[in-house]
A and B are shown apart, each in its own frame.
Chain A
């Protein structure tokens, strides 16, 4: 296995997630696609760490921070989605245009 295999896999995951983020109308599914994108980035981080600096482990530390931020993001994001659902009975991102002028 070479570094390129892992990088191409991470690029494929990132682009699948990107397509979902751009296309989906359900806010929860958009959050799920963001998680796919973050997973793709994490694979690239760990692969760089394994093949470029195997003993320093910097990429793995970065992956841990990305996971932390992802957990915080999904908690706050889902709280916002549920709060919006309570006031508007919808999680369609096309309906959530409160801050659009």
Chain B
């Protein structure tokens, strides 16, 4: 069981990182968007290895479903496919900043003494998650729905033909 989890984690992690790199490095915008979908799906698999089954389903629905389709539509509507996704002149400074941040993150993460809990996570996360969301986080939940409404109205107002 434990060894299967480890194999699953490593396969998913490697596919996620490679497809994220492909998003950044590929010149064809459309292929980059398709690799983004691959990385969304493998991130959902990583949630499964973390006992977050509800989040994995939401990740597939929202990211691989809605956001990916929205991005593909935007790519097709803006007809920038021919020009590819060129880089600007900041490649070297950006690479240095990204690598420095990565080194900082990894050194902090590996040197900190995390208080790992010995408790087992709940078998199915959906029920406990709903209880937490609607008891302790009821107000933020409502605010999030207002935010979504504002985003819908704003998006429609922005692209409407005048």
Does A64 belong to the interface (CB within 8 Å)?
A: yes
Q: B43 contacts A85, CB within 8 Å?
A: no
Q: A1 contacts B49, CB within 8 Å?
A: yes
Per the CB 8 Å criterion, the residue count for chain B at the interface is 86
Docked pose: A28 CA to B91 CA in angstroms: 18
Q: A57-B129, A75-B151 are in contact. Are A50 and B121 (CB under 8 A)?
A: yes
Nearest B residue (CB) for A43: B46
A-B contact count (CB 8 A): 236
Distance of A55 from chain B, by nearest CB (Å) = 6
Docked pose: A6 CA to B66 CA in angstroms: 26
SS class of chain A's interface: helix, strand, loop or mixed?
helix
Q: A36 contacts B20, CB within 8 Å?
A: yes
Contacting residue for A75 out of B47, B117, B119, B152, CB 8 A: B152
Per the CB 8 Å criterion, the residue count for chain A at the interface is 70
Does B11 belong to the interface (CB within 8 Å)?
A: no
Does A99 belong to the interface (CB within 8 Å)?
A: no
Which of chain B's residues have a CB closer than 8 A to the CB of A82? Answer: 74, 77-78, 158-159
Does A8 belong to the interface (CB within 8 Å)?
A: yes
Docked pose: A9 CA to B50 CA in angstroms: 13
Q: A32 contacts B50, CB within 8 Å?
A: no
> What are 5 inter-chain pairs, A to B, with CB distance below 8 A?
A18-B94, A55-B128, A64-B129, A65-B144, A70-B62
